[in-house]
Structure 1
Amino acid sequence: MELQLSFVPKGGGTVTLVGLPNSTNLQENQPAGFSVFTFSVKSTSSIPSGYPVIINSSPLTKAFRLLYNLPTTTVVLTGNPVLDFETTPNSFDLQIYVTDDTGATDLQILTVQLVNVNEPPVFLDNLANQAVELYITEGSPAGNIYQIQASDPEDLLNTLVYSLTPPSAPFVVSATGTISSSKVFDFETDPRSYSLVVQVTDPKGLSNNGSLIIHITNINDETPYFIGTTTTYSIPEGQAPGTIVATVTAVDPDADGFINTLLYRITTPTEYFTINQLTGVIQIAMAIDREANPFRLNPNITLEIQVQDSPSGGHSNKTLLTFTILDLNDNPPTCTQYAFSISVPETEALNTLIINLALYCNDIDVQSPYNLFNFTGLSGLGSNEKFQIIPPGSGNIVLIGDLNFEAPNNLAVGNEYSLKVAVQDIASPYYTTGTKIGQVYATDADFPFIGITFSIAAGGSTLGNTNIFWIDPNTGNIQLVNYADYETTPKYIFTVQATDPGSKFSTASVTLNILEANDEKPICVPNSYSLTVPVDQAVGTNIQDFKLTCTDRDSGPKSFRYFINSGNINNHFAFSPSSGSNITRLVFANPFDYSGGGDITWNYNLLVYITDDNLLAATPGVVGLVQTGTVSLSISVYVPGLTTLKTTTTPKNIYVTQTMNVYSATAWYIPFVITIGSLLLLGFLCLLLYLLAKYFPCKGSPKPDTEMLIPPGMYGFG
């Protein structure tokens, strides 16, 4: 291979910048990469020419650079800095130099003249590149809320015009760009936010827009108020502690936007009621005895209930509830004396009143018929033959038979008749005796033995109920006559006294153990609640972190079971765990299917049963019954992002109107007038029929003749 090299000495050629020198106009604020001017390079040398370069600029700037596509070269903008007529020089002289490999050179000038362009005004604050959000606290006085910062490069006086859209919003903007509110906002009644378009316009009509969002924030400035119209309640006496007798509910207009809690309390001094400060549930705290003072004379208890909002503000409201304590037949009749010794002459006349037992007995129940009783069951030697209760039930023991001691029909033993009479309520539960739970015995060495009277001298009461036990004064049988609560008093110790007719007495101590029974219902907090669930709720999610916490005075924490008894359409909801714990959570079990038609219900009202599983039933000596508590839950389904829930069916109202002819008791004359008019009309019709029959008699059909019309012999025939 043969390599041949040739060299061209320097100075052997020429190079020329074609198109230069020259000048060009450039509008201000053009972007980086914008083409300013194009020229080419021409060389007489066989060696390719070199690349042109900008060797200097007047004024000095890095705003220009060369883009090569030889033989063509383009002057473009670098964007650093952006050439602005108002802030940068208006004219530039670019010195462009080129050389080739032979050493030939060329140097030319390109003059760039910056041209002013009318531009719209610009925002100098955050409105320039984002939506500005402002917050106004409700109740704040009207006034300035924001100052717009804007400028027009072409207007040195900055005579800009500002405006707000929509103009109906309660905001105005001044000629200097100050935005002000024109009213005092109320979070509960006004819109919660306003979206405004801020526009700035220069004198030549060019404008620029920014976005302003104003939020109204809530403060605790409203007073909670009670809802519901029931203010009077009637409750039986003797209700066990924990019995729910009423529920008050209040709402707070400030609740929207707050994690707000209403707290309830009873401001009236009372030992008989308590209130759940979170739920407003009112319960019995101490059993109330209608027969005790002050309820014997005044059965009404008035409570003042206060509700107060939180966490701040301290706004409160009050309402009055009146409870009327109803009398029950909870006391047996009692007597001041149960044994009588009466001397009656054997010559006593018949129908003589021997004794009126009603003078010695009483029933402390307040109202009739609970405080009424009678005397029945007269028995013993001489009953109904010698003696009788007249009139029946009155307690009057009357002599009806001969008491002659020498008479053959004398029934007396040792000149004595022994009679027994039962004292009994006339209203249910017809107390004569209570449940027999034991018997005490006593003896008297005196002779003759006349009798011993038994009584309870001390003890045997609880929770203000004085007659838990009753002792038969004649037999010593101890009976339960009122409710015994194991959880309150598991053991009773009381003193029994035996007294003879001579007022000599002896005492004995009686200990009575109450067996536990599963008689307490589970109580859960909260016992009612309202929840919301999105339509796209994930299966297995704990809905709004809702949980139940349950207690039972006679069952352990692992004895609870949870059932949704009603309202769980398509089984969307469940409790986890469903048993074995006193704390459970509401979970979403099955997805909704509104689009496919599987679901049409948007509001679910769940009735939840909580049982205590009757675990005590397996304990020896313990009476077991399953007890059930209830909780009500209201669940609303919503579509996220929508303000209105849509249902798949169109609701409609059907009105049924029933019309009846009813006369007021004061309008007695209406049926009277109708009756008289009917009688007159009937008489007129009868008279008309009579006159028609008299003057227009009816002709019947002809009858056959029974006699000859012409007698024989007349006219010469015969």
Structure 2
Amino acid sequence: MENLIRLSFLLGVIGPSGGTVLLVGLPNVVNSPENQPSGTSVFTFSVNSTSSLSSGFPYIINSSPLTKAFKISSTPTDYKVLTTGSPVLDFETTQNSFDLQIFVQDELGDTDLQILTVLLTNVNEPPVFLDNLADQVVMLYISEGSSIGAIYQIKASDPEDSTNTLTFSLTPASAPFNVSPIGAISSTKIFDYESDPHSYSLVVEVKDPKGLSVNGTLIISITNLNDETPYFTTTTTTYPIPEEQRPGTIVANVTAQDPDGVGFINTLLYRINTPTEYFTINQLTGVIQISMTIDREAVPFRLHPNIILEIEVRDSPSGGHSSTTVITFIVQDMNDNPPVCSEYAFSKSVPETEITGTLIIDLNNFCKDIDVESPNNVFNFSGLAGLGSSERFQLIPAGSGKIVLTGNLDFEDPNNLAVGNEYSLTVVVQDVAPPYYTNNIYVYVKTIPVNEFPPVFSSPSFVFNVSELSPPGTKIGQLYATDKDFPFIGITYSIVTGGSTLGSTDIFWIDPSTGNLQLANYADYETTPKYVFTVQAEDSGSLVSTASVTVNILEANDEEPICLPNSYALSVPVDQAIGTNIQGFRLTCTDRDSGPRSFRYFINSGNINNHFAFSPDSGSNISSLVLARPFDYSGGSDTTWDYSLRVYITDDNLLSATARSIGVIQTGTVTLNIHAYIPGLTTLRTTTTPAVTYVLRTANVYSASGWYVPFVITLGCLLLLGLLGYLTYILAKYIRCRPSPKPDTQQLIETPEKKKIKHDVFWESTKINTVFDGEAQDPVTGHIYEYNSKSGARRWKDTKQPIAAEQTSPHVAVTPSGPTPRATPTKREKTPSNPVKADEIALRPVTSNRLQTPGQASPKVESANEGSANRSPSPRTPPKVS
């Protein structure tokens, strides 16, 4: 509208040939081809002016028809009418003629207005795209895996004639696409994003029948789908890891790739499918870490050090595809354990005679290193130290742990005695691999003495003398032997042969510890005057030596005379002549240690009035009994007719006075029974055969082996006496005589009126240990008394005396329906261990209905406390007496 107004104004002031400014070349008519691009020159003109042009002039002030398809552009010399390209002037669709009014004005105000007519000329144009190909690159997207088929329809037309048939083509021809005659573009294959190109750039060409063409660009992109399984890119499947790694230590990093990942937002997730407590995996990065310390020496890694894990990778977010791989961790052994020994202190006993080169102990049998692999489990022994370590003990070979004896251990060598006969050795067991763990082992070698030497007697033979009168236990002498073995343990002496009399027990006994030789029995010179026997000395190792012992038995007068006959009966007439042999009797005596002339005879007893004597009375081993004094029965001097003579025969008549003084006199006895008779009164013929009487003497010898017999008998008697005493005590404690009850002298209950039915009331007395746990006031006297809540016993509180019967009788009431009850104590109880006191007797009435007639009521006995309960309150109501 502004331009129209301005045009009207100008038309009003501009006239023909007005002013000093002039548009040269205008008015004019020009031809311009259709569809010229922007900036195409349509017409060139110039301006003549005497002054400078006003700013912005010349310009097109109007057009017919109105259009903005033209503009004026200035150059240093002239002006050009150019196409603007908007709109595009098309012969077929727009006006074919345009009148452009060009106006110019100088600074003086002079103006000029001319018309330029532009005539459009028809040009044979190529086809045009009717879709986006006309002005841009068209982007198409095809999902991988899509089926073969049409993907795009080209829309084009021939501007000259829309009915013309156009020809379509694609470049490059090798692309897996084709175009149909009607412009339909189709794919010729199923695309795989992972193996095919991800995009194709196609040039679409459209030709008209005259050969003119138009090109458009079509870019086809293949879109990725999650149709591929991820795969592991890690090529390492075996990982050696040291044992004892800290939790959190990274031991592996598995990686994977998803073929769908290129150009496709995707996340891979990792996890361990194998159950394990030793490893964890980062699900986003695939980093595998230690989660628990692994001990190579523990089960199962000691035998099976490989840990096999199945690792799974899965794509995300769809999560529809996964794959697995197996990796193996080989747990490597480290020297993390020192050598371990079952014992660290050993005690070995070695005989002193052990030869050099003897193996004392092999420590390898007791030590081990639980590390699995070499050299971690290899160790050696070194540092043998201690008493005797260099002179007598060594590790052979070095480091082997075999302690070998290299010196002597002879106890008899004074330079070879260890403290307490024991050598203390120290050995170091050490790893051969870093960090060289060590432990100390202590070996105590105790030297055992060996019985190398037998005992040796101080003399090969010993001679001793002993009197045959010496009693058992007499020391004869001592045998002594020595033993070169060290330490000296002891020698045992024994008699091995001889030392006894044929048919009797051993005569000699030797102390096994001291070698003292003693008599064990009486020796008999007459039986064996000399003993030759062998004594043995034996050490603790059963080595023995012997010595010959000769014991000479010194003769002594130790035998009694033995006379025959030992007992005899004789008869003698009263008129026997003096000095004559009585009935031809003779004694014949023998003595093994006395000669025939050593006997002496005398009558010790029974020789009344000395009628009898022996002739000879000494100096002979045969003597006769003679009448030494006549009988005098008629004169009364003799009254005894039977004589019993006790005859002693001694062997001392040849011994010296010194011998007699020491009592070495032996005596034999003979008994003679003599009967005196008067010849002619009786005929007495002696027919008695001399009898021999053997006197046996028994010696009661104590046997030390039977000491336990009197001990056991004595102990049994003491135990029996103790048992009898205990039973007597029990009987005396629990069996006591019960005293007879005494009748009561006072009537406790008033006598009721007599009736037909008699009711006997008995009082049962119970002796108890009373504890008075309550107090009450007597309703009659008003005094305070104490009572036992269980037994009913009472006593006055002030005097601590029991309540008398007459004072307690008001507390017991009997209904007057029966005769007067009689209180009779029928039962008494007491505890044996607790004496009963007078104030601990409670009377408890007992009612007997044995005389009650059926239908009659029993007498009622009640406590007075029941009737006086309201009148005499107490802290604790005493029990009722029923």
> TM-score higher than 0.5 here?
no
TM-score scaled by structure 2? 0.35
Q: Find the structure with the greater CA-based Rg.
A: 2
